[in-house]
Amino acid sequence: MAEMKNLCGKIPVELHEKVRAEIEEKETSTQIFIQQVIEEHFNRLEGKGEESMEKRTLAVQITEELFQRVKWAVAKEGIKQKDFIIRIIEKAVEEVEAKWQELDQPEEIEETDNLEEAEDTSEEEVVEAAGEEMDAEISEDAEEEEIPESEEEIEEIA
Check whether 78 has a pLDDT greater than 70. Answer: yes
- For 153-158, what is the mean pLDDT? 56
pLDDT beyond 70 at 136: no
With cut-offs at 50, 70 and 90, classify the pLDDT of residue 1. Answer: confident
Instruction: State phi, psi for 79 to the nearest 5 degrees.
Output: -125, 175
pLDDT digits (tens, 9 = 90+) for 18-33: 999 999 988 889 998 8
Instruction: Please state the domain extents for the chain.
Output: 12-37+62-78
Residue 20 to residue 98: CA distance in whole angstroms: 43
**On the CB side of 119, how many CA atoms lie within 13 Å of its CA?**
6
Asked if residue 64 has pLDDT above 90, the reply is yes
